Amino acid sequence: MAKGFSATTVKSWFQYRCERKVRYELSSDEELASVPIVKDIREQSWAILGKKFEDGIVEALGSAVLKPRRDEKILSETLSAAFLRGLRPERYAAQVNLFPKNTPTFLQDTGLFLNRNISDLLRIDPSISHPGSSELTIIDIKATRRATAFHKTQVAFYVRVLEEVIREMKIPRLAVSDHGEIWRIAEHSTAESSDYEAERFALTPYLRLVDDFCANVLPDIAKKKLGNGIDETFFHLYFKCEQCSYLEHCRRSISPEKDPATRDVSAVAGLTHEAKRTLNKHRISRIGQLATAEGLSRTPGLSWSLSKRAPLLVTRAKSLAGNKVLRTEDEHTYLMPGKIDCALIISVDHDPVDERIAALGYTRIENGNPVRSPSIVIPKTGSLADERKALIAVLGELILDLTQIDDHNLAVEEGRSQAEPLYAHIFLYEPSEAITLQAAIGRHLDSDAIRNGLLHLVRLFPPEDVVPEPEFRGVHHLPATALRNVIEQLFALPVAVSYDLRQVSQAALGSDGNVYAPEPDFERPFSSLLSIEVIRGLREKAQKAPSRDAIVKDVTSRLMATQGLIAWLVEEDRRATKNGAPLLRLAKRPFRFQASFDPLNAIDLDVLLACELLENRAGLLEALVNLAKPFQRRRDAGRSLAKLRRDREFKGGQWGSRRFLFQIPSESRDAELTAGDMDLILHNDAPDLRLNPALWQDISCRIVDLDPPLPSHQICVEIRKQALDSQTFQALLDRTADDGWFIDKAFFDVNSQRAASFISYLGQEASA
């Protein structure tokens, strides 16, 4: 029975934390065949790219690197020994097989042994700390822009093996460096280049992780039995599994061809590894079992997180078991408006290798119909220049549309037009698309066009100094929505593992709707964004890669499917509203740009202003998104003290302030709000208060630690005089029931406006 492993197994554990994957990698082909387990042996595109990137760097080092002979893939034992003993002139050695002859000390009594461990590069230098000695540094070459923890644990494992080799060879005055290096893609280059940046890191914390894994985790995994009809390994399917060679084997357990009730519980979207372990301990391993576990949240031994999410997971299991769309416990959402005349839909695909945008799509839908053909740009390369062109083209069109809508609504306001005002809202499907877009914009703040676009995007929010005029009351300032969040909050759908666009559109819209039905080259198990195979195939001009036209068609299909889901949600809201219970409660005015900023003459100051304002609005948007969620979600995430009972009030510690004592229900006692938080609001959960930043100053509060301390079921907050005397807070006192109080984290940024004013002042001085 094989139980050999290499550094790849170590990296695999820290990357995926999958017991099954590690156990399978410890097994021989014969052992896997007896289960049976079929492994996908096709070489992944990211592995091919990594080899090309590594070869390019080694080739660029030229004569400074000792390489294997032409007919060999690894450095011979003779050449490796000569290099380690300092008998070679080269500073580097490539493809060194680190293979001690005896069982390493860190594997004694485990029953495990080492396979080949081939390091990308070794570097030998004179030791600085010990004159007359030499020091070896292990270098791992990765075709990525970010060195991750699992990359570093792989280097740490190489260090442990190299130490064993040096000990066996009894080489005097040779030590391994306490730092490792990851050579990765240079920031302003691409994966096709041999330009790299060296990321040096301390090995100590990663050595501890490796030591614990080899001593405690790996031996236990190796004991799991495999055989004919026997597989004791624990597994859980989630988005990272897409890269695994054993994916198809594991997917059989959740196959739609199985009886829905007998499918593995991994199929339930939102279930974590630890939650599945806990469910298994309670003999819940199938969808049918979870679907009938009505009292799961009250089961002893459940983690806090699982107990809070249990009702949602049970509802999702019911949806899968019955193959039907169900409503969740959430009655409504404040993440999306019910009235949308203009839906401005964006799609963003990301190249995880180059860390650049791979495709950018945009369409404007007005009253259910596209205004024009979608704008879709696919950067020619992974360069910053091509990414910048894509951003300018697509976001420029978005800003032009926003400007036209703003002009239209201004004309209506001023009586120059008799047309109806337009309600506009920006949509993406995945929250990750917004993060990708934000990061891309941040890479191009040296561009005049990007900076100008940023200042327009900042104008989607109300200015800090806006007076809470009557027309702003009852208005919620949330300019964009990640549609997936809305659907996950309101509906349980019969989808497996993930609420990706393909599965969601097909489940919600059915065969008659505008569903996303990708071509085979574009279909992914748990995501609808472009795969790395498609992206790298295009970038590297692979022979069988999908064409640009095919990618444009796929992006267009996703934009239209997103529109289909928007229309579906609006129709569901219309039906619910007829029954007196609307689903989409985000209240918006007809679209208008909310603020304006004078451009600065000095480019550097313009960048500073854009960054300052963008950071401020990003923080505001994050707070609004959190506050738009129902109080149960905010409370369970530790961000809200909900359903507080007002006890008494007394004089505060500042002039004119008052302190209020509240009783905390048991469900809210785990909230992570403290006296150090300076951005808290006290309210009655009315959306017109919590979703209107213009009113937050009127309901601001701070938690006060009294002496002696209060018991855990009580909390004291202080309200300053300015807020206390406001009409908003007085109305709150009059209308709020004793047990209807909430404390939430909002967003107060006292520095951004000051910084922006100072930057503007500098700009005026520079232009004087």
Mean pLDDT computed over 510-524: 90
Last residue in a domain, options 324, 354, 386: 324
Q: Tens digit of pLDDT for each residue in 221-271?
A: 999 988 888 889 999 999 889 888 899 999 999 998 899 889 999 999 999
- 158 with 64, same domain: the answer is yes
Examine residue 616 and state whether it is found in any structural domain, yes or no: no
- 264 with 361, same domain: the answer is no
Examine residue 265 and state whether it is found in any structural domain, yes or no: yes
Per-residue confidence band for 152, with pLDDT thresholds at 50, 70 and 90: very high
- 287 with 215, same domain: the answer is no
- 414 with 514, same domain: the answer is yes
Examine residue 236 and state whether it is found in any structural domain, yes or no: no
- 444 with 551, same domain: the answer is yes
- 446 with 297, same domain: the answer is no
Q: Tens digit of pLDDT for each residue in 539-570?
A: 888 888 899 999 999 999 999 999 999 999 99
- 642 with 557, same domain: the answer is no
Per-residue confidence band for 400, with pLDDT thresholds at 50, 70 and 90: very high
- Answer whether 564's CB lies under 8 Å from 343's CB: no
Last residue in a domain, options 271, 294, 324: 324
- Answer whether 77's CB lies under 8 Å from 141's CB: no
Q: Tens digit of pLDDT for each residue in 590-621?
A: 888 765 544 334 344 554 555 555 566 667 77
- 168 with 51, same domain: the answer is yes
Give the sign of the dihedral formed by CA 308, CA 311, CA 313, CA 316.
negative
- 445 with 580, same domain: the answer is yes
Greater model confidence, 761 or 376: 376
Examine residue 671 and state whether it is found in any structural domain, yes or no: yes
Examine residue 670 and state whether it is found in any structural domain, yes or no: yes
Mean pLDDT computed over 512-535: 92
User: Total structural domains in the chain?
Assistant: 4
Mean pLDDT computed over 503-526: 92
Mean pLDDT computed over 654-671: 92
pLDDT of residue 506: 96
Q: Could you tell me what percent of the chain has a pLDDT over 70?
A: 90
Mean pLDDT computed over 714-731: 94
Three-class SS of 195-251: CEEEEEEECHHHHHHHHHHHHHHHHHHHCCCEECCEECCCCCCCHHHHHCCCHHHHH
Query: Which residues span the domain enclosing 510?
Result: 342-596
Over the chain, what is the mean pLDDT? 87
Give the domain CATH number at 719.
2.40.30.20
The tokens describing 256, both together, are 């739609």
Greater model confidence, 166 or 620: 166
Which residues have CB under 8 Å from 723's CB, separation 6+?
697, 698, 699, 700, 701, 729
pLDDT of residue 194: 83
Examine residue 87 and state whether it is found in any structural domain, yes or no: yes
Q: Tens digit of pLDDT for each residue in 16-49?
A: 999 999 999 988 888 788 888 877 655 566 677 7
- Answer whether 166's CB lies under 8 Å from 84's CB: yes
pLDDT of residue 534: 93
Per-residue confidence band for 462, with pLDDT thresholds at 50, 70 and 90: low
Residues 294 and 304: their CA atoms lie apart, in Å, by: 17
The tokens describing 609, both together, are 């202003």
pLDDT of residue 72: 87
Q: Tens digit of pLDDT for each residue in 172-187?
A: 899 999 999 999 998 8
Q: Tens digit of pLDDT for each residue in 446-455?
A: 787 887 777 6
Examine residue 229 and state whether it is found in any structural domain, yes or no: no
- 317 with 387, same domain: the answer is no
- 428 with 507, same domain: the answer is yes
- Answer whether 166's CB lies under 8 Å from 126's CB: no
Q: Tens digit of pLDDT for each residue in 67-122?
A: 998 888 899 999 999 999 999 999 999 999 888 888 888 888 888 888 888 899 99
pTM of the model: 0.82
- 274 with 136, same domain: the answer is no
Which residues have CB under 8 Å from 213's CB, separation 6+?
10, 13, 14, 153
Mean pLDDT computed over 709-737: 94
Examine residue 682 and state whether it is found in any structural domain, yes or no: yes
